[in-house]
Amino acid sequence: MAGFNAAWWVALGIGVALLTIDFKLSAQRKKKLGWPLLALSFLFIGIGLSGFIHDYWVSKERLHSQPQLSNPLQAPSNSSAPSSESPKPSKKSLTKKDAVRGNSVHIERVSKIEQQSSGDCSPNMIGGANTVSCGPPPLKLNASLRTVTSDKQGLIETIITVTPNQPVAAPCAVAIEFDNPIASIAAAIAGTATTTLTGRLPRLGKHVMVPVGDSFNPQHALVINVYSEQPIRVVGDPHLE
């Protein structure tokens, strides 16, 4: 009953008090004041009861209009409170800068991947591994021939320059195949005047072997002076023996 307006209690109290006074009046006074007091008492009692009924229906309507909680022990969530988490961008709104973070690359499902590198040591990958080995290339010796005026009577002198694709450490032996027999040879490193033949005897004929006592490289090639009775031609590429 604490939800009712105090005015209704006052009106009800006045009505009851007037009704009590009317009952206690003498017969002589009741003729003069009985009906007015009785009317006032019923008026105040009616006002009080009407107020109680009005407050009752108003409070009932308010109770039904409030949202019901599924769990009475759970406090209602405050939907208006700002969220501490920042909104996550959708996949469609990701920019190119968002796709690359740190050392990782985020690729969308429909992204096109293009790789422009080429060659034996290309970083292009197939199946998660290099397509070729990127170690040092195998040794390759290239020979070039040049015929000069011979300093030995009756023999043709041919200068053969053997250029490697990487440094060759000494001591070593270079094998060269010719189409005609070789009678004599001499060898040196380009840029130096000293002979490079070691104490090991060279092998003559068509299957020549030149023992080399100094290292040579692409910048300082091996120069071999070959003497033969007939013009010669190198068969295949020189190789180490």
Indicate the domain borders of the chain: 6-63, 93-130, 141-240
pLDDT beneath 50: ranges in the chain = 1-2, 72, 99-100, 103
Q: What are phi and psi of 23, to 5 degrees?
A: -70, -30
Joined tokens for residue 113: 């991947």
Task: Tell me the backbone φ, ψ of residue 135, rounded to 5 degrees.
Answer: -80, -175
Closest alpha carbon to 11 in 42, 44, 36, 38: 44
Return the structure tokens found at 30. Answer: 């009741």
User: What does the pLDDT look like over 101-125, one tens digit per residue?
Assistant: 554 555 566 656 665 666 556 655 5
Question: CA 181 to CA 162: how far, in whole Å?
Answer: 19
pLDDT of residue 44: 74
Q: pLDDT tens digit string along 170-185? A: 999 999 999 999 999 9
DSSP letter, residue 42: H
Residue 112 tokens read as 């096109």
* Tokens 């091996």 found at: 222
